[in-house]
Amino acid sequence: MIPFRIRLERRLERHWWQTAATPLLSILAALAAGAIFLLIEGFNPLTVYRELFEASFTSRYGITDSLTIAVPLILTGLAAAVAFRMNLFNIGAEGQLYLGAIFGSWAGLAIAADLPTILGVAAVLIAGAVGGALWAAPAAVFKAYFGTSEIITTLMLTFIALFLMRYLIFGSKSYWRDPEVTNFPQGKKIPPTARFELWSDTRLHWGLVAAIGIALLVWAIIRFTSLGFDMNVVGSSQNAARYAGIPVRRTVIVALLMSGALGGLAGATEVAGRAYALDPNGLELGLGFTGIVVAALARYNPFAIILVATFLGGLRNAGVALQGLPGERVPVEVSLMLQGVILLFAIGGEIFSHYRLSMTRLNTVAAA
């Protein structure tokens, strides 16, 4: 038979460049695979990629639009990262985002009108964080006390949140609904004091700064606080946590609440920066799930998340922008497919940072 045995062996050392190389190589491999696919379909891959790149990263509106989409992706990416690095699989950032939008728009409508802008926006954000954390709380409690799978509970809660949000705008004349617009249901606009200012004439808003700031804050918490330290220990070895006297249950709950709050902030920034209202159609974009993709590609590192979110935001944006561009008629779906392929390659490549291939000659194993 085969004279060699190929095995995966655990690596003992990991250089920092190896950690960064894997996602980069995966992206390159995915682009190569994509290029082959495009060739088969009769497109010129270089032209396609160039147009994609231009649409998102070289023109003024392109970059700003990419960054605008990146804002919630940074936050949902952080939400996923905080939980996933502890093996807590909160896949409900999508629903936590919706709740954040609900709570945030309420705060904007109810209390921001008489406040200075900085406080008005802050109110929206804080309310959004609270909403998201609240939505993660059931999953957190059930997991910590009953060991219930957080994967299922957060997923279920996402759908409940979706219907709740739709109900508030489409299904009822709730506080969130704009009574003056009668032909189609729409959310009431929040006052200007609750909105992020726009950057000159683009769609980019100061929420980007907030998102980056929050990423820094998360990084700082994980790196410099005892809470972050406890989370690191619990995520690596629960035995060690118990040995050290770290309360495992409490840490798990706090981590999931934090994750939920970040998802809620994503919804809040969308309200305060883009939609200015509770807008289900504008929020149901799968931002929560894409955030998981961002986190995985970025290896749960807050700084990398900012970069990856921008990259994926650009890809998304390109898909839309391409439709209006002259030239090569590139199908819009290519960008979505590329996202998926890049992720698949990244996931597959992930293993090579922990393991390496070793080939051993099969000698006289059988004759003992």
Partner 1 sequence: MSTAVQAGPGAHPGQPAAIAAVSVTKRFPGVLANDAVDFCVWRGEVHTILGENGAGKSTLAAMLCGLYRPDEGHIERNGKVVRLRSPREGLANGIGMVHQHFRLVDRFTVAENVVLGDPNQQRLLKPREIDKRVAEIGDRFGLPIDPRALISNLTVGQRQRVEIVKMLYRGADVLLLDEPTAVLTPPEVEALFTTVRSMTAEGKAIVFISHKLGEVMAVSDRVTVMRAGAVTGEVATTDTSQRHLAELMVGRPVEIGTRRGTSTDNTVALRATGLTVLDGDQTVVDDVSITIRKGEILGIAGVAGNGQRPLARALAGVFKPAHGTVEVGGVDVTGKGPTAARRAGLAFVPEDRLGTGLVPDLSLTDNMLLTRPRGFFVDRRTARAEIAAAIADYEIKTPGTESHARVLSGGNSQKVLIARELAGLGEAGGPQVIIVSSPTRGLDIGAAEFVRSRLHDARERGAAVLIISEDLDEVRSLADRVAVLYRGRIALEGATDQLPLESIGLAMAGVDESASAGLEGAT
Partner 2 sequence: MNDTAIVLTLAAAVAAAVPIALAALGELLSEKSGVLNLGVEGMMLIGAVMAFQVGDASGSLWLALLVGSVAGAVFSSIHAFLSVTLRANQIVSGLALVIFGTGLSTFIGKSIEGKPLATDFTPIRWGPLGDIPLLGPLLFDQDPMVYATIAIAILIAFYLNRTKAGLSVRAVGESPGTADTMGIAVAATRYAHVMAGGFLAGMAGAYLVLGQVPSWSQDGTTAGIGWIALALVVFASWRPLRVLLGAFLFGFARRANFWLQGEEWAPNIPAEFLSMLPYLLTIAVLVVWGSRDLRRRVGAPMALGVPYVRDER
Smallest distance from the beta carbon of 25 to partner 1, in angstroms? 22
Contacts 24+ apart (CB under 8 A), 42-46: 43/328, 43/330, 44/328
Q: Residue 237, interface with partner 1 (CB under 8 A)? A: yes
Q: Is 323 in the site for partner 1 (CB under 8 A)?
A: no
194 lines the binding site for partner 2 (CB under 8 A): no
Report in angstroms how near the CB of residue 13 gets to partner 1 at its nearest: 6
DSSP, residue by residue, 256-276:
HHHHHHHHHHHHHHHIIIIIS
Q: Which does 296 bind (CB under 5 to 8 A by kind): partner 2, partner 1, none?
A: partner 2
Q: Contact between 239 and partner 1 (CB under 8 A)?
A: yes
Binding residues for partner 1 restricted to 165-224, rule: CB under 8 A: 223-224
216: enclosing H helix or E strand: helix 207-224
Between 205 and 299, name the residue whose CB sits nearer to partner 2: 299
Task: Write down the least CB distance from residue 93 to partner 2, Å.
Answer: 11
d(CA 258, CA 149): 18
The residues facing 359 across adjacent strands are 6
- Euclidean distance between CA atoms 129 and 117, whole angstroms: 18
User: How many alpha carbons lie under 13 Å from residue 248 in its C-beta half-sphere?
Assistant: 18
Q: Is 226 helix (H, G, I), strand (E, B) or coil?
A: helix
Least distance from partner 2 to the Cβ atom of residue 225, Å:
26
Residue 290's binding partner out of partner 1, partner 2, none, with CB under 5 to 8 Å set by partner kind:
partner 2
Q: Give yes or no for residue 224 binding partner 2 (CB under 8 A).
A: no
Q: How far apart are CA 211 and CA 104, in angstroms?
A: 15
Query: Would you give the DSSP letter of residue 205?
Result: B
For binding to partner 2 (CB under 8 A), which residues are involved?
Answer: 84, 89, 91, 138, 142, 146-149, 151-153, 155-157, 159-160, 163-164, 166-167, 170-172, 289-290, 292-293, 296, 331-341, 343-344, 347-348, 350-351
